[in-house]
Chains A and B, each alone.
Chain A
Amino acid sequence: MIDIQNITFSYKKKTPLFEKFSLSIANGSIVGLLGKNGAGKTTLLKLIAGLLPTQSGTIQVNGFMPADRKPTFLADISFIPEEFSLPQLSISAYVAALRPLYPNFDNEKLNNILTEFELQHSDKLHKLSHGQRKKFLIASALSCNSKMLILDEPTNGLDIPSKSLFRKVLVSSVTNEQIVLISTHQVKDIDSIIDTVVVLDKGKTIFADTFENISRDYRFETVNDFQTAENALYFEKRFNGYPCISSANNDKETNVDIELLFNYLTTKKS
């Protein structure tokens, strides 16, 4: 459980990025943290991981205050940053060093994911491409079986087949005990795996709801005529017509177009 209450945070000599910011996320959720560049997504993830201190307010993650960085808390959190560095070791050597630090580390899971990602234990980390190193990072993070998995732009640097492989691996690895926080601005990459959407804009939560509620409250459809589209809450012009969002009014549930929803929310806000 992540419980953020009235936090204020600012980088040095800058106006606060978060002011009286609150958010709660229950266990068993795969949360898509969406927002434009500079919305505060990465900062929020760092605050949750205890990598940054709040100026006021409280953050609790599974009963721990992240900023204390207690070892039990750290053993139960896996963070995949957008930019990362790995030591100049082979995969097997690095895993051998890492494994004892994470009590729930699952070797079999690691082997399976590495096979899916076509990585060998003998591969040298510093000789892999950025995408391959990211795949290894994802594999090792998932194998730690941490209660909280934080992924910052996980699909950046992955090719198209790897993106779908990433989705498959993530969904098959995550349990109901875990919280997965995925921050991205490439909403299409994660729309099929997340069950909760949180949209940030300028340090504020402008939207937070489950997929279930979104599909109950909104109708997503593509219409061909401009008149119908104009009556919707939001529409865009695309090559195949006018995808639009309307209130659902107890209609039949439609597939959520997360990109459209994101554009609607950020446009509405501004």
Chain B
Amino acid sequence: MNQFFNIKRFANYAAYDVRTNYKRYLIAAAIGFIVVFVTSYLLFEIDLTRFRPLEVAKNYDTPILITGNFFYRIVDISFIVLAFSVSILYPAFVLLSFPTLKNNNTTMNYLLLPASVFEKFLLEVFIRTIVGFGLFLLIFDSASNLAISVFELRINAKYADIVALHQHRIFIDAFTYNQMRNYIANDLGNDLNLPSNFNLLWSFMAWGIMIMAVRLFFKRFAFIKTLITIVVFTTIISSIIRHFGLNEDLILLSWNPEGIFSIDSNDKVSFLAYLSSILQTLFFLFLGYYLLKKKHV
């Protein structure tokens, strides 16, 4: 049997991880859902004044009268919530990777599980970055749409007299990623083509792998220690790049999401950005694997 990777063993190990950690994953998903829902709803409430029926439509944020009903598009609020949650919730989920390495007892169990170091590392990368990010998108979609539905009920109740008088219901557009994509493209004046989308997903994965690798340096209080290290690390790298007058896009791991979106896939800087992010990701992948391999109790 291959000692590095075996698909059956990997599947068994993955099943073990899901069976023993499913509560942890469910709690993380529930927290994500609640945070997105509450944040979205609160921002809708704060921005309540925009939901004034019969106001003249000037842009997509104000109502558009269609077939006797008022339609609102609130994609800008969704964008704020998405940007906030993607930069808080996703890193937090990744920062909580390797939960079994928090103390000697659980570390011992983990290291003695019959799976290769590569399989253990691969599963964590897969769950925390690919599955984690995918799940995050699903959770965001459902939580924001729930917030929209609840708020729609609330706004119709608030303006019940106007709604009754004009026999117009107020509708808020459901959140979709396509709508968000168009919004970002429109806002940035940049067409989010396939390479740009790939860029975006790749950079989140690269980001996740870097966090996981750094997390493996620590045992106790890994969450906070990793967070501090990453902030210091990215600040230093950004300062160096700025100091030498290089384009900031060279680091895809920047904390500034605008930097990620604004990469133009056609210029040389983009190519360098791709190259540097691939090299960084490979470096952190190897570093993470090595640190896990050298883990002891």
Q: A101 interface residue, CB < 8 Å from B?
A: yes
Closest residue of chain B to A75, judged by CB? B114
With a CB–CB cut-off of 8 A, which chain B residues contact A74? Answer: 112-115
> A53 and B296: CB pair below 8 A?
yes
With a CB–CB cut-off of 8 A, which chain A residues contact B19? Answer: 89, 93-94, 96-97
> B16 and A52: CB pair below 8 A?
no
Closest residue of chain A to B23, judged by CB? A88
Question: Knowing A85-B105, A93-B19 touch, does A69 contact B12 (C-beta < 8 A)?
Answer: no
> B117 and A69: CB pair below 8 A?
yes
Question: Knowing A100-B12, A101-B16, A101-B113 touch, does A71 contact B3 (C-beta < 8 A)?
Answer: yes
With a CB–CB cut-off of 8 A, which chain A residues contact B106? Answer: 85
Closest residue of chain A to B297, judged by CB? A51
The proximity string for B residues 1-44 relative to A, scoring 1 for CB distances below 8 Å and 0 otherwise, is 10100100100110110011101000000000000000000000
Q: Which of A39-84 contact B (CB under 8 A)?
A: 46, 49-53, 69-72, 74-75, 77, 79, 81, 83-84
With a CB–CB cut-off of 8 A, which chain A residues contact B111? Answer: 50-51, 69
- Chain A CB within 10 Å — which of B21, B106, B117, B296 has the most? B296
Q: B199 interface residue, CB < 8 Å from A?
A: no
With a CB–CB cut-off of 8 A, which chain A residues contact B114? Answer: 71-72, 74-75, 101-102
CB-contact partner of A101 in B13, B21, B104, B117, under 8 A: B13
Chain A interface size, as a band, is: 20 to 34
> B113 and A51: CB pair below 8 A?
no
Q: A161 interface residue, CB < 8 Å from B?
A: no
B194 to chain A, nearest CB (A): 39
With a CB–CB cut-off of 8 A, which chain B residues contact A88? Answer: 23
Closest residue of chain A to B12, judged by CB? A100
Closest residue of chain A to B117, judged by CB? A69
Q: A233 interface residue, CB < 8 Å from B?
A: no
Q: B238 interface residue, CB < 8 Å from A?
A: no
A21 to chain B, nearest CB (A): 18
A2 to chain B, nearest CB (A): 16
> B115 and A81: CB pair below 8 A?
no
Q: B266 interface residue, CB < 8 Å from A?
A: no
The proximity string for B residues 109-148 relative to A, scoring 1 for CB distances below 8 Å and 0 otherwise, is 1011111110100000000000000000000000000000
With a CB–CB cut-off of 8 A, which chain B residues contact A89? Answer: 19-20
A203 to chain B, nearest CB (A): 18
Q: A193 interface residue, CB < 8 Å from B?
A: no
> A72 and B3: CB pair below 8 A?
yes
Query: Bound state CA distance, A70 and B4, in angstroms?
Result: 8
Query: Bound state CA distance, A75 and B13, in angstroms?
Result: 12
A137 to chain B, nearest CB (A): 10
Question: Knowing A71-B3, A72-B3, A74-B112 touch, does A52 contact B12 (C-beta < 8 A)?
Answer: no
With a CB–CB cut-off of 8 A, which chain A residues contact B105? Answer: 81, 83-85
CB-contact partner of A94 in B6, B12, B20, B103, under 8 A: B20
With a CB–CB cut-off of 8 A, which chain B residues contact A49? Answer: 112
> A52 and B20: CB pair below 8 A?
no
Closest residue of chain B to A81, judged by CB? B108
Closest residue of chain B to A77, judged by CB? B112
With a CB–CB cut-off of 8 A, which chain A residues contact B113? Answer: 74, 101
B11 to chain A, nearest CB (A): 8
Query: Bound state CA distance, A25 and B252, in angstroms?
Result: 54
A42 to chain B, nearest CB (A): 10
CB-contact partner of B108 in A72, A79, A96, A100, under 8 A: A79
A201 to chain B, nearest CB (A): 23
Query: Bound state CA distance, A101 and B103, in angstroms?
Result: 23
> A101 and B12: CB pair below 8 A?
yes
> B296 and A97: CB pair below 8 A?
no
With a CB–CB cut-off of 8 A, which chain B residues contact A93? Answer: 19
A117 to chain B, nearest CB (A): 20
Q: Which of B69-107 contact A (CB under 8 A)?
A: 103-106
With a CB–CB cut-off of 8 A, which chain B residues contact A50? Answer: 111
- Chain B CB within 10 Å — which of A71, A84, A88 has the most? A71
Residues of B in contact with A (beta carbons under 8 Å apart): 1, 3, 6, 9, 12-13, 15-16, 19-21, 23, 103-106, 108-109, 111-117, 119, 294, 296-297
10 residue pairs bridging A and B, Cβ less than 8 Å apart: A52-B296, A69-B111, A74-B113, A74-B115, A77-B112, A81-B105, A83-B104, A83-B105, A84-B105, A100-B16
Contacts A85-B109, A87-B20 aside, 17 further interface pairs with beta carbons under 8 A come to A50-B111, A51-B108, A53-B294, A53-B296, A69-B111, A70-B3, A71-B115, A71-B119, A74-B112, A75-B114, A84-B105, A84-B108, A85-B103, A87-B21, A89-B19, A94-B19, A101-B16
Shortest Cβ-Cβ A-B pairs, 5 listed: A75-B114, A97-B19, A74-B114, A100-B12, A85-B105
